[in-house]
């Protein structure tokens, strides 16, 4: 199978590309021109699999040019991870987020022009908005950030467009992912680096329910949806939901109780004090996927990568 992956050098994109190649698929990775992370992508791919990876350097604004690229010819499915402005600074900027919607709809059209049979989009738990109960795929979306609004907006338009273009549309709502290669400003990375230096970590209240999923399990879920899942919306998350403080304190223990931490020192994020309580029954039933990495195992792997 030949897979086009936009955002191939991103945290999740790199893991997905690596797994797809490991399973014997061909990949055309779409990356920004001059991407500083391109070398990291090549390093993440075993040498024996590199001949099955092609790279197209294109900005999302010019994604339609991919239709003439020889490395994209014969594509079967499209995994769309490329999305600008996912960081806190841009999550409330409507112009940034709506441009993502426009560019991503062009990606759908390119997928159809190339003959893809399935388009998989990586959405977000931010689409649900603020819930204090278990969230299922059939619950109403009430996003509060422009980031969440745009993801919902794209999903609704893309589902209709894919139907018109005779493609299956799969929408994966990804919850909180962690692991080696994550953004240095993420909560897990920041906690681990701060504790390992023996410094103080200033946190929010951290009383909300939370859920973490290891990066390799995330990649496995996406590949399952590309190859086995039916069209529709799926939550992608872990099976261990507990108060965020419990996760903080487990990381502190694993780091040898070095440094200190204080709650109530930071404001809430852009989405507000939402609980993450995902129901992952649908993807488990329809694909057989299950998270296999415990939080502690993932933290040890992440620590190992930080010390390498």
Distance (Å) of CA 150 to CA 85, 147, 242, 308: 11, 5, 28, 38
Instruction: Quote the tokens at residue 98.
Output: 């709506």
Does residue 13 sit within a domain?
Answer: yes
Q: 3-state class of 109 per DSSP?
A: helix
Q: Enter the tokens of residue 35.
A: 């991407």
My answer on whether 86 and 109 are in the same domain is: yes
Pair 20, 138 in one domain: yes
Same domain, 77 and 106: yes
Query: What is the domain-level CATH number for residue 41?
Result: 3.40.50.720
* CA dist., res. 87 & res. 20, Å (int): 26
Instruction: Supply the range of the domain harboring residue 108.
Output: 2-176+215-237
Q: How far is Cα 235 from Cα 173, in angstroms, rounded to an integer?
A: 5
**293, part of any domain:** no
Residue 288 lies in a domain: no
- Residue 212: phi and psi, rounded to 5, are -120, 145
* Whether residues 157 and 258 fall in one domain: no
- Looking at the structure, do residues 109 and 139 belong to the same domain, yes or no? yes
**Distances from the Cα of 164 to the Cαs of 105, 157, 158, 181, in angstroms?**
13, 11, 10, 38
For the purposes of burial, counting CB atoms within 10 Å of the CB of 165, is it exposed (0-12), middle (13-18) or buried (19 or more)? Answer: middle
CA angle 57, 25, 169 (to 5 degrees): 75
The residue written with tokens 């991870």 in the block is 81
105 contacts 148 by C-beta, under 8 angstroms: no
Q: d(Cα 267, Cα 281) in Å, to the nearest integer?
A: 33
Are 204 and 231 in the same domain?
Answer: no
Q: Where do the DSSP E strands lie in the chain?
A: 2-6, 26-31, 53-57, 77-80, 118-124, 168-174, 176-178, 200-202, 209-214, 232-236, 241-243, 260-262
How many structural domains is the chain composed of?
A: 2
pLDDT at 116: 98
pLDDT of res. 269: 64
Looking at the fold, whether 64 and 122 belong to one and the same domain comes out as yes
CATH of the domain at 264: 3.90.25.10
pLDDT at 266: 84
User: For the chain, how long is the longest CA-to-CA vector?
Assistant: 57
Residues in the chain: 308
Q: Indicate whether 140 and 220 sit together in one domain.
A: yes
The helix-helix angle for 244-254 and 295-307 (nearest 10°) equals: 50
Q: Spell out the residues 6+ positions from residue 181 whose beta carbon is closer than 8 angstroms to its own.
A: 11, 14, 15, 40, 44, 215, 305
**pTM of the predicted model as reported, rounded to 2 decimal places:** 0.95
Question: At a CB cut-off of 8 Å and minimum separation 6, what does 255 contact?
Answer: 192, 195, 196, 303
Q: What's residue 272's pLDDT?
A: 60
- pLDDT tens-digit profile, the chain (308 residues): 999 999 999 999 999 999 999 999 999 999 999 999 999 999 999 999 999 999 999 999 999 999 999 999 999 999 999 999 877 778 889 999 999 999 999 999 999 999 999 999 999 999 999 999 999 999 999 999 999 999 999 999 999 999 999 999 999 999 999 999 999 999 999 999 999 999 999 999 999 999 999 999 999 999 999 998 799 999 999 999 999 999 999 999 999 999 999 999 987 765 567 899 999 999 999 999 999 999 999 999 999 999 87
Instruction: Specify whether 193 is located in the same domain as 128.
Output: no
Q: How far apart are CA 164 and CA 112, in angstroms?
A: 10
């Amino acid at each position: 199978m030949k897979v086009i992956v936009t955002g191939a050098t991103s945290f999740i994109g790199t893991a997905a590309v690596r797994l797809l190649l490991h399973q014997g698929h061909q990949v055309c990775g779409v990356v920004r021109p001059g991407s500083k992370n391109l070398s990291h992508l090549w390093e993440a791919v075993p040498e024996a699999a590199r001949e099955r990876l092609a790279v197209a350097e294109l900005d999302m604004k010019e994604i339609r040019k991919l239709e003439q690229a020889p490395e994209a010819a014969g594509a079967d499915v499209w995994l769309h991870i490329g999305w600008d402005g996912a960081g806190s600074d841009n999550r409330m900027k409507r112009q940034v987020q709506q441009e993502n919607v426009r560019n991503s709809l062009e990606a759908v059209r390119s997928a159809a022009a190339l003959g893809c049979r399935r388009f998989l989009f990586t959405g977000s738990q931010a689409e649900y908005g603020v819930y204090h109960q278990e969230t299922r795929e059939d619950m109403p979306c009430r996003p509060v950030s422009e980031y969440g609004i745009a993801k919902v907006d794209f999903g609704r338009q893309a589902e209709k467009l894919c139907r018109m273009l005779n493609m299956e549309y799969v929408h994966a709502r990804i919850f909180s992912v962690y692991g080696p290669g994550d953004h240095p400003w993420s909560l897990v990375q920041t906690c681990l680096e701060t504790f390992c230096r023996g410094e103080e970590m200033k946190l929010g209240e951290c009383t909300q329910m939370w859920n973490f999923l290891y990066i390799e399990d995330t990649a496995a879920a996406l590949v399952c949806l590309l190859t086995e899942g039916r069209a529709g919306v799926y939550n992608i998350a872990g099976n261990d939901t507990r108060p965020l403080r419990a996760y903080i304190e487990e990381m502190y223990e694993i780091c040898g109780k070095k440094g200190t931490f204080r709650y109530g020192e930071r404001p809430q994020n852009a989405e507000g004090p939402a609980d993450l309580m995902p129901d992952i029954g649908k993807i488990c039933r329809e694909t057989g996927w299950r998270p296999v990495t415990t939080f502690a195992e993932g933290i040890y792997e992440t620590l190992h990568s930080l010390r390498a």
